[in-house]
Structure 1
Amino acid sequence: MTLETVWTLVEQYWLIVLAIIALIGASAFFSGSETALTAVSRARMHTFESNGDQRAATVNALITRRDRLIGALLIGNNLVNILASALTTSLFLGLFGDSGVAFATIVMTVVLVIFSEVLPKSWAISSPDRFALSVVPIVRVFVGVVGPLSSAVNVIVRALLAVFGVTLSRDTSMLSAHEELRGAVDLLHREGSVVKADRDRLGGVLDLGELEVSDVMIHRTGMRAVNADDPPDQVVRSILESPYTRMPLWRNSTDNIVGVVHAKDLLRALAEPEVDPSTIDVVKIAQKPWFVPDTTNLKDQLNAFLRRKVHFAVVVDEYGEVQGIVTLEDILEEIVGDISDEHDLEMQGVRQEADGSIVVDGAVPIRDLNRALDWNLPDEEATTIAGLVIHESKLIPEERQAFTFYGKRFIVMKREKNRITKLRIRPLEDSVPS
Structure 2
Amino acid sequence: MHGGAEAGLENVDIWVATLVVLLCVLLSAFFSASETALTAASHAHMHALEKEGDHRAALVNRLLRQRNRMIAALLLGSTLVNIGGSAFTTSVLVYLTGESGAVYATIIMTALLLVFAEVLPKTVAINHPDRLSLRVARVISVFVAVFGPLLFAVEAFVRGVLKLVGVEIGHGRTLLSPYDELKSAVDIMHEEGTVERNWRDMFGGVLDLQVLHVADVMIHRTKMRTIDADLPPEQIVREVLASPFTRMPLWRDRPDNFIGVIHSKDLLRALDAAKADFSQLDIDDIALEPWFVPESTTLEDQLEAFLKRKTHFALVVDEYGEVMGLVTLEDILEEIVGDIRDEHDLAMQGVRQQPDGSVLVDGAVPLRDLNRVMEWSLPDEEATTIAGLVIHEAAAIPEAGQVFNFHGFRFEVLRKMRNRITVLKVTPTEAQEPG
Instruction: Please give the TM-score of this superposition, normalised by the length of structure 1.
Output: 0.92
Check whether the contact 2:399–2:413 (CA below 8 A) recurs between aligned residues.
yes
Match of 2:182 in 1: 181
Distance in 1 (CA, whole Å) between partners of 2:308 and 2:72 is: 47
Q: Per-residue displacement from partner, 1:95-138 (whole Å, max 9, x unpaired)?
A: 22222211221111111112211111111111110000111011
**Aligned partners of 2:274 and 2:281 also within 8 Å:** no
Change (3 A) 1:199 1:429: closer
- Comparing 35-44 with 341-350, greater Cα deviation is found at 341-350
1:230-379 to 2 correspondences below 5 Å: 230-272=231-273, 274=275, 276-379=277-380
Task: Name the CA distance, whole Å, in 2 between partners of 1:138 and 1:378.
Answer: 49
Rounded Cα–Cα distance in structure 1 between residues aligned with 2:288 and 2:149: 66
CA contact (8 A) 2:316 2:323 kept: yes
1:414 aligns with 2:419: no
Q: After TM superposition, give the deviation of residue 220 of structure 1 in Å.
A: 0.6
Give the corresponding residue for 1:199.
200
Whole-angstrom distance in 1 between the partners of 2:10 and 2:208: 70
Q: Decide which moves more: 82-91 or 250-259.
A: 250-259
Match of 2:92 in 1: 91
Note closer, same or farther for the CA distance 1:276–1:228 as it changes in structure 2 (3 Å cut): same
Match of 1:382 in 2: 383
Could you tell me which residue of structure 1 aligns to residue 73 of structure 2? 72
Residue in structure 1 matched with residue 162 of structure 2 by the alignment = 161
* Deviating more after overlay: 264-273 vs 386-395: 264-273
Q: 1:9 to 1:359 in 2, by over 3 A?
A: farther
Residue 144 (structure 2) aligns with: 143
Measured in 1, the distance between the counterparts of 2:360 and 2:279 equals: 45
Separation in structure 1 between the aligned mates of residue 156 and residue 278 of structure 2, nearest angstrom: 80
Q: Which amino acid aligns with 2:45?
A: R
The alpha carbon displacement at 1:275 in A equals 5.6
How far off is 1:389 after superposition? 1.6
The DSSP-based 3-state class of the residue aligned with 1:348 is coil
CA 1:174–1:236 in structure 2 vs 1: closer, same or farther (change >3 Å)? same
Range with greater deviation from structure 2 (386-395 or 343-352): 386-395
Identity, % of aligned positions? 57
Deviation at residue 227 of structure 1 after TM alignment? 1.7
Shift of 1:300: 1.7
Distance 2:231 2:152 in 1: 77
Pair 1:101 & 2:102 matched: yes
Give me the whole-angstrom Cα distance separating, in 1, the residues matched to 2:357 and 2:276. Answer: 57
Distance 1:149 1:261 in 2: 74
Q: Distance in 2 between matches of 1:149 and 1:224?
A: 73
Give the aligned partner of residue 131 of structure 2. Answer: 130
* Cα RMSD for the two superposed structures: 2.2
Q: Which moved more, 1:345-354 or 1:278-287?
A: 278-287
CA distance in 2, matches of 1:13, 1:29: 24
- 8 A Cα contact 1:317 1:323, kept in partner: yes
The 1:74–1:197 alpha-carbon spacing in structure 2 relative to 1, beyond 3 Å, is same
Once residues 237 and 293 of structure 2 are traced to their aligned partners in structure 1, the CA distance between those partners, rounded to angstroms, is 27
* Separation (CA, whole Å) in 2 of partners of 1:195 and 1:289: 40
Distance in 2 (alpha carbons) for counterparts of 1:301 and 1:391: 27
The answer on whether the counterparts of 1:69 and 1:147 sit within 8 Å (CA) in structure 2 is no
CA distance in 2, matches of 1:76, 1:18: 18
Q: Deviations over 1:355-391 (max 9, x none)?
A: 1110001100111112222222222221111112222
Rounded to whole Å, the distance in 1 between the matches of 2:199 and 2:420 is 35
Q: Distance in 1 between matches of 2:271 and 2:221?
A: 29
CA contact 1:414–1:423 (8 Å) conserved in 2: yes
| TM-score, normalised by the number of residues in structure 2 | 0.92
Matched to 1:259, the amino acid is G
Q: Aligned pairs, how many?
A: 425
Alpha-carbon distance, 1:77 to partner: 1.0
* Structure 2 partner of 1:118: 119
| 1:9–1:95 Cα contact (<8 Å) kept | no
> By how many angstroms is 1:278 displaced?
3.0
Cα deviation for residue 187 of structure 1 reads 1.6
Shift of 1:14: 3.3
- The structure 1 segments of at least 4 consecutive aligned residues displaced by more than 3 Å after TM superposition are 8-11
Q: Following TM superposition, by how much is the alpha carbon of 1:11 offset from its aligned partner in structure 2, in angstroms? A: 7.9
| Cα shift readout 1:62-121 (whole Å, capped 9, x = no counterpart) | 101211111111111111111121122222222222222112211111111122111111
Report how far residue 170 of structure 1 moved.
8.1
Which shifted more, 69-78 or 146-155? 146-155
Distance in structure 1 (CA, Å) of the matches to 2:238 and 2:175: 58
Shift of 1:197: 2.2
- 1:399 Cα offset (Å): 2.1
CA distance in 2, matches of 1:349, 1:299: 28
Which whole-Å CA distance do the structure 1 matches of 2:341 and 2:11 have between them?
81
Matched residue SS, 1:338: coil
Q: What is the deviation of 1:58? A: 1.2
State how far apart, in whole Å, the 1-side matches of 2:66 and 2:310 are. Answer: 43
SS in 1 for 2:53: coil
Deviations 1:307-344 (A, max 9, x none): 32221111001111111100111111112211111110
Partner SS for 1:255: coil
Mark the runs of 5 or more structure 2 residues left unpaired by the alignment. Answer: none
